[in-house]
Amino acid sequence: MAFLFSALGALTLVSRT
């Protein structure tokens, strides 16, 4: 599940940029 969270976090960060 850590990988999923990591991918989600990265996507959210990119979206926030």
- DSSP code at position 1: -
- What's the CA gap between 5 and 9, in Å, rounded? 6
DSSP H stretches of helix in 1-17:
2-16
Read off the pLDDT band of 16 (50, 70, 90): confident
Q: What pLDDT score does 10 carry? A: 97
Predicted confidence (pLDDT) at residue 12 exceeds the cutoff of 90: yes
| pLDDT at 11 exceeding the cut of 90 | yes
The C-alpha angle with vertex 7 and arms to 15 and 17, in degrees rounded to 5, equals 20
Q: How confident is the model at residue 13 (pLDDT cuts 50, 70, 90)?
A: very high
